[in-house]
Amino acid sequence: MIELKDATKKLGNFTLGPLNVNLEKGSYSVVLGPSGAGKTLFMEIIAGLSDLDSGTIRINGRDALDLPPQRRSIGFCYQDYALFPNMDVFENIAFGLRLRKHRDIKPKVGKIARVMGIQDLLKRDVKDLSGGEKQRVALARALVIDPDILLLDEPLSALDKASALQLIKELKRIHRSRPKLTIIHITHDFDEALSLAEKVLVMNNGRILQSGEPREVFNKPKDPFVASFVGLKNIYKGWVGSHDGVPVFETGDLKFRVITDCEGDAYATIAAHDVIISIEPSETSARNHFEGIVKDMEDKGMLMELTVDIGVDLTVTITKESALRMDLHDGKRCHVLIKATAIHVFKA
């Protein structure tokens, strides 16, 4: 388990924290945030490569504040892999074992190389490897010493799509096969987080804005930054009032029937796939009903992304099939239905 309490670190003009983080042993956490959010510094603090200015850090129940990186049992994979260019693949992987004066270095390196599918590369110079191969070597080098914690800094960002998908599979397999290994993975890509994370920590400007299960963070962001970062298109600022005793979110001239405990200034988000479009007005269980005009249509492969003007711009995704059947086009009038439960409201 990794536990940070009120942890802060100043680096020039940048301040990280105060951070309060709890990561379960054996969990897969993804730290999500734009570049410059402080994600790498966060990782380096866990690794002991950077000292805290204040606060505490505990790893597996032990105070780790003064524990040097050599004794934290950590595997660290940097974004650009940081393979040692003066050594071949075998020597890179064997590096940590040699320091531990392991016997059986050869079989151990051979075993992890087979697991990572790089057994044929062992004699190769690291400069001659592809990005995906380098990433596997870096992972093998980190995993061969059997660490308690694996830190991955943007592991997929430099890979082409096919290699990235392959590596996601690989990471899932590593997570499954090592139930005690705590994995922390940095990314700026929400889809990557969704496919791997058990827990997501959204970070910006040195702070963790929200953490939780990825679905929950996506569906119920607590902050406009989180909402836009996880890819929500419909974020509205307004205020929550009461209408006949039921809560209503107002933005401009629009009123949305919502379910919330919030009052006063607030934000509302609506997931684009939770909106229903119809041509004829129809009686449904949806509490919010607007008339709108299709302003824009964007082809997204299987899906069609519409921008509908209902007084504010609302992004809606529907299948291409539906768009064709309803003969939707720019300027077409339509009806928009949104369930009160599909609108997520949080305090401004």
Residue 41 contacts other proteins per CB under 8 A? no
Handedness of CA 52, 45, 194, 323 (dihedral sign): positive
Binding flag, residue 14, other proteins (CB under 8 A)? no
Applying CB under 8 A, among 74, 209, 230, 308 the residue interacting with other proteins is: 74
Question: Closest separation between CB of residue 56 and other proteins, Å?
Answer: 21
Distance CA 219, CA 258 (A): 15
Give Rg (Cα) of the chain.
25
Q: Which of 70, 177, 242, 285 binds other proteins (CB under 8 A)?
A: 70
Q: Does residue 198 belong to the site contacting other proteins (CB under 8 A)? A: no
Please state the closest distance from residue 96 (CB atom) to other proteins, in A. Answer: 4
Prior bond of 107 cis (ω within 30°): no
CB 128 to other proteins: min, Å:
15
Residue 233-272 contact track with other proteins, rule CB under 8 A, x = bound: ----------------------------------------
DSSP, collapsed to helix, strand or coil, labels residue 348 as: coil
* Residue 341 CA from chain centroid, whole number: 24
Minimum CB separation from other proteins for residue 99, in Å?
4
* 69 lines the binding site for other proteins (CB under 8 A): yes
Work out whether 96 is an interface residue with other proteins (CB under 8 A): yes
Q: Which residue, 76 or 90, has its beta carbon nearer to other proteins?
A: 76
Count of alpha carbons within 13 angstroms of residue 156, beta-carbon side: 23
User: Minimum distance from CB of 86 to other proteins (Å)?
Assistant: 4
Closest CA to 150 of 38, 64, 23: 23
Q: Which two tokens stand for residue 237?
A: 């600022």
- Shortest reach from residue 146's CB to other proteins, in Å: 12
Q: Compute how many other C-beta atoms are within 10 angstroms of the C-beta atom of residue 107.
A: 9
* 68 binding other proteins? (CB under 8 A): yes
Nearest alpha carbon to residue 201 among 7, 23, 13, 16: 23
For residues 194 and 209, what is the distance between their CA atoms, to the nearest angstrom?
A: 17
Does 82 interact with other proteins (rule: CB under 8 A)? yes
By CB under 8 A, is residue 44 in contact with other proteins?
yes
Asked if 84 interacts with other proteins (CB under 8 A), we say yes
Kindly tell me which of 49 and 262 has the beta carbon lying closer to other proteins. Answer: 49
What is the SS3 string spanning 108-141?
A: HHHHHHHHCCCHHHCCCEHHHCCHHHHHHHHHHH
User: What residues make contact with other proteins under the rule CB under 8 A?
Assistant: 44, 47-49, 68-70, 72, 74-76, 78, 80, 82, 84-86, 95-96, 99-100, 141-142, 145
